[in-house]
Structure 1
């Protein structure tokens, strides 16, 4: 048996001693390996809240059951073939060498090499197949989760903690990959190896096997116990290091230094840092001493075990006529049984950690979409849509709110006309826009386009019918060309330039060194806010929707940028049913109809002149707001 340098990191391996099992790197939740593991309390809570039936996990592997069966067969075959090694050693030591039988010696030596080669080859094939199965299962699961989450409403993402979705889709799924490709095969290999090794030990010497049964359990318990102590110390070190890094990041950042100086907390911050650093000194001392004590204890234990075996083999009462070859073969087997036994001791913790990962991912797969997909979608050709928009008695209350965001609201927007929605903040204007594009569904009533309930349209069809330009335009971190092609993947370059020209941004893009292939940067930071808005308008023009929603598209812009963008929006609105939501009343005075909302209710509607003359709520908004001017350009 080969003793690896990592088996004895602090001292040379003593002659004839069985090498202690290495303590693997512990990876926290879901960590795997043969070293000491404890069940994470968070995993217990996760499984208590969302238990996972084993049948559901096994169902993931059903399409790959042939490969899984082959992997299991290879594990068993590899374990059995490897057991031939000590018997070959016994034959060489007891027969071939003493009797100078060259032929037998060549056969046994060749057999040893063949055993090593076959087990390694089987290991390569096993790794290849298990990794392939794991990758395929993870690919299918990752894709299923991503696709399912895309069906969730916008409300799901607003109420879900930032980073939680990404964590489950990446960290948890990647952790499950380790479960699929390593943990399951490791448990199977450990179990097979432990059983086969002990059977071989019994075949060689039942007396020494009984002695091993007395010695091995306490040795395993001591090894695991010391490893758990060291793991606890390492965990404390990691927490303190994380705290130290957090203090460095906050205390030495520009904002942190400014805060400390303005509040006079520099001295307290330094004292806190000193205390954390001081704790790390003690933890490092404990860690090093625990490591030395661990190695010292294990060196003694693993020196005692072969010594007792040699003693039993040498005493006439217990030897049973044992040969030297049998003794060598037995000690080799006895040394190899520790690693799989330690692995089996961790099976419970590995199982809980693994099932907790599946539980977290299945939780997302089991989410019922707030906006269900239509069971019988209406076939609608966007090119034939007239654009008649109606809200019929619509009511919507957000979760946790004490009043309706929109209450019993009815609006009629004939095809090709323009409707402006105005009102104070919180009056329900953006809620109306979100229902039109089906980011929200009403609790009562319905929203229709050409008499068809938007809930009966598939999302791609609805997106091609209703286009929206909002205050917060979003550009993907890629080129201008790719951002535009999101609207129409098959659009030729000439149409891209026509859309940019209509959005008053063609000259800007043409002046860039890379033109359409200019990378916009994260969230479009390469361009100003107004330029981003105009690129978003160009994208909507390219989609050519018959219904257009302008949700406060210019409210955050300066006057000059607003004028340029307003010209682009006017170009975009021509010939379409347009619903404009605005705080600046000057942008809506020429609308065919203006609807005034307050606390989700329609309080008055009419043209600009009619509403001003009526002296109602709209007239009050005009009086307290900016002066109403004729639209620019």
Structure 2
């Protein structure tokens, strides 16, 4: 199955979403803006007072004490306003960040499982970790700092113009230079940071895959190949980060030069204007201080603007998760009956390479169907289609009787899981108590939870025990039992068990399957198994070979037919006898 990177939102989508987030909180936004504006205005008074003080000293009538007290008052006022302005911005930022995280979790949970698997773990993991962290930094720091800087620049330029249009002109000498370098940078930075994050996702995916499959890598001697993959991913990440670094090595030196040039130009040109009587000393002094005061917010703006590009790229990746098209089109129809049927089903993970070919299979309500066959035959793929995880490329998989049958892909997920549930050999234990892990199936009493645990021969800790990350470690077999207990509580009418007891030893698996058979009596069960005692106990057996159902019947019928199943049974029966499998002799008697 090829890896497909999840989509990335367009620039228009990012801008529209950011605008909607801000407009959700107009009062908080206006309050923060007003406080920052007042703080900026308070900071503009000091240069003007200093300009007047210099001219007063020249005339000999300066009131130094009054000016000093006024400056001190405005400095204190600015400090208080800045404190509350930052507090208001932080509150707004945290609210927006919380909404972004909640929306992202909602998008991830709504992703079609088939697309998540094709994307691999690396891409989704990097979005939920690195991109969320980057966006957090942007929302908490970059966005408020940029907003403050823009307000400060706007008010300072306004004060500079009011001081005197002539003395304000020299600072404009740097505008073409800054405008040009910013256009050059912004055209390249967004795409560059997106490539950097994709490269990081590929590297994460490769490392996670290698660690997760470490035993397979070791057993098959794939270490060198995995090392080459890791080296290639690191090289790709290095190239992507080197590109964005080159952008910064152009932007920041030009910006540093731009900070010095306006101050020098204002002092020089302003001095000429003063000599020729075109500007007062107070105007030149105030203008120079205002231009000097512009350096801080412009520097902050350029510094955080780079961080903003990272945040924009992260937001595009987080929003892009919502661009994954749904794999189902839920309608209003409800199935009439519980019969599950596949008709003319074809499925391909890659275009032009079908792994299932014209599969026809109808399950009788309440029966236990075993699906067997060689590895790679398509058993698990068929199970996923019967569980509604994937939709067929051609044909239909329906639930219901006759005209009341509804395709599984037309059912909303909540309704689908009430009809069919899939349990595989891969199980996740969530951080929390055993009870927490059970009630996520549906709210239940302690008595019902304990009954479900007894049904799966639970040999782990009690309901109040903390399990999962940081809690009591469960063995793979116990994790499997916990997942099966959840299934018992979820109570769907059809279950697809894809080697769901494979992590248990043969004797324990045999005992658990018999216990489950009693608990799940009356429900339809599709058991995909590699242990043929499961097939022996089933009502019918479907043999899958090369993506086709080649044999279908009871165990005795297929043994009498002397076909593929009979050969599998003969081979397995001989092996299991030699290894002392619990299914031999009396254990081979049917339990239906």
Output the TM-score relative to the length of structure 1. 0.68
Contact 1:479 1:520 in 2 (8 A): yes
Aligned to 1:553: 500
Contact 1:533 1:565 in 2 (8 A): no
Aligned to 1:88: 49
Name the CA distance, whole Å, in 2 between partners of 1:552 and 1:321.
88
Name the CA distance, whole Å, in 2 between partners of 1:110 and 1:63.
42
Name the CA distance, whole Å, in 2 between partners of 1:583 and 1:400.
26
Please list the CA deviations of residues 71-129 of structure 1 after superposition, one character each: whole Å capped at 9, or x if unmatched: 4444433323321112233445555999788xx65653443233223323333343333
**1:465 is aligned to 2:419:** yes
* 3-state SS, counterpart of residue 407 of structure 1: strand
Please list the CA deviations of residues 186-224 of structure 1 after superposition, one character each: whole Å capped at 9, or x if unmatched: 44443443344344445556665556566x779989x99
* 3-state SS, counterpart of residue 466 of structure 2: coil
Aligned to 1:317: 275
Aligned to 1:378: 334
Contact 1:537 1:568 in 2 (8 A): no
Aligned to 1:475: 429
Name the CA distance, whole Å, in 1 between partners of 2:262 and 2:107.
58
Change (3 A) 1:349 1:436: same
Change (3 A) 1:378 1:139: farther
Change (3 A) 1:535 1:93: same
Aligned to 2:93: 134
Contact 1:476 1:524 in 2 (8 A): no
1:133 to partner: Cα distance: 3.3
**How big is the alpha-carbon RMSD for the aligned residues of Structure 1 and Structure 2?**
4.8
Matches within 5 A, 1:51-70: 52=13, 54-70=15-31
98, 105, 124: which one pairs with 1:146?
105
Aligned to 1:339: 296
Aligned to 1:536: 483
Name the CA distance, whole Å, in 2 between partners of 1:461 and 1:304.
67
1:535 to partner: Cα distance: 2.5
1:595 to partner: Cα distance: 1.9
Change (3 A) 1:85 1:429: same
Change (3 A) 1:161 1:462: closer
Aligned to 2:235: none
Aligned to 2:399: 448
Aligned to 1:579: 526
Change (3 A) 1:414 1:118: same
Contact 2:143 2:308 in 1 (8 A): no
Name the CA distance, whole Å, in 2 between partners of 1:493 and 1:393.
42
**1:419 is aligned to 2:366:** no
Change (3 A) 1:502 1:377: same
Larger Rg computed on CA atoms? 1
Output the TM-score relative to the length of structure 2. 0.72
* 3-state SS, counterpart of residue 444 of structure 1: strand
Please list the CA deviations of residues 315-334 of structure 1 after superposition, one character each: whole Å capped at 9, or x if unmatched: 983576855x6665444323
1:173 to partner: Cα distance: 4.0
Aligned to 2:320: 363
Change (3 A) 1:456 1:107: same
Q: Alignment length, in residue pairs?
A: 521
Please list the CA deviations of residues 16-36 of structure 1 after superposition, one character each: whole Å capped at 9, or x if unmatched: xxxxxxxxxxxxxxxxxxxxx
425, 431, 454: which one pairs with 1:501?
454
* 3-state SS, counterpart of residue 397 of structure 2: strand
* 3-state SS, counterpart of residue 82 of structure 1: helix
Contact 1:220 1:338 in 2 (8 A): no
- 346-355 or 460-469, which deviates more: 346-355
**1:613 is aligned to 2:592:** no
Please list the CA deviations of residues 408-461 of structure 1 after superposition, one character each: whole Å capped at 9, or x if unmatched: 322233222222222222233222321232111123122214554233433223
Please list the CA deviations of residues 485-534 of structure 1 after superposition, one character each: whole Å capped at 9, or x if unmatched: 22222x111222222222112xx34xx5xx22223334998233333322
Q: Where does structure 1 lack aligned partners over 5 or more consecutive residues?
A: 1-44, 225-241, 266-289, 381-385
Matches within 5 A, 1:190-589: 190-201=149-160, 203-204=162-163, 209=168, 309=267, 313=271, 317-318=275-276, 322-323=280-281, 329-343=286-300, 352-372=309-329, 374-376=330-332, 378=334, 388-400=338-350, 402-442=352-392, 443-449=394-400, 451-453=404-406, 454-489=408-443, 491-505=444-458, 508-509=459-460, 512=461, 515-522=462-469, 526-589=473-536
Runs of 4+ with >6 A deviation = 96-101, 216-221, 301-304
Contact 1:547 1:577 in 2 (8 A): yes
Aligned to 2:237: none
1:368 to partner: Cα distance: 0.7
Change (3 A) 1:68 1:586: same
Change (3 A) 1:431 1:524: farther
Contact 1:418 1:579 in 2 (8 A): yes
Contact 1:92 1:108 in 2 (8 A): yes
* 3-state SS, counterpart of residue 583 of structure 1: coil
Contact 1:194 1:341 in 2 (8 A): yes
